[in-house]
Amino acid sequence: MRREIPAGRPWDGEAVEAVLEDAVLECERGSASERWCRSGGFARASGELTVYELDGEALIFDARTADTHHLNATACHLFRQLRETSDPAVLADMLVERYQIGREEALRHVERFLEDARRVGLLGQAP
Partner 1 sequence: MRGMRDRAPSTLHFRVGIVSTSVTSSVRAILDDYAALYAAYRVEEAGPKAIRVRVERAPRRWLHRRRYVVTVNDRRQFEPGRISEVVPYLDWAINWEVPRALPEALHLHAACLSLDGQGLILPALSGSGKSTLASGLLARGWKYLSDEFGMIDTGTLAVQPYPRAICIKKPSMAAVEALGLPVFGERYYLKGAKGYVGYIRPTDVRADAVGSACPVRYVVFPRYVRGAEPALVPISRAEAALALHEVCFNLLTCPTPALGVLTSLVRGAGCYRLIAGDLERTCALVRRLMTADERREPVSA
75 binds partner 1 (CB under 8 A): no
Cβ-based burial of 75 (10 A; exposed 0-12, middle 13-18, buried ≥19):
buried
64 binds partner 1 (CB under 8 A): no
15 binds partner 1 (CB under 8 A): no
61 binds partner 1 (CB under 8 A): yes
- As measured in angstroms, the least distance from the Cβ of 75 to partner 1 is 11
- Quick check: helix, strand or coil at residue 115? helix
125 binds partner 1 (CB under 8 A): no
- As measured in angstroms, the least distance from the Cβ of 8 to partner 1 is 59
Q: What angle do CA 63, 69, 70 make, to 5 degrees?
A: 145
70 binds partner 1 (CB under 8 A): yes
Which residues of the shown chain bind partner 1 in the complex (CB under 8 A)?
Answer: 50, 52, 54-55, 57-59, 61, 66, 68, 70-72
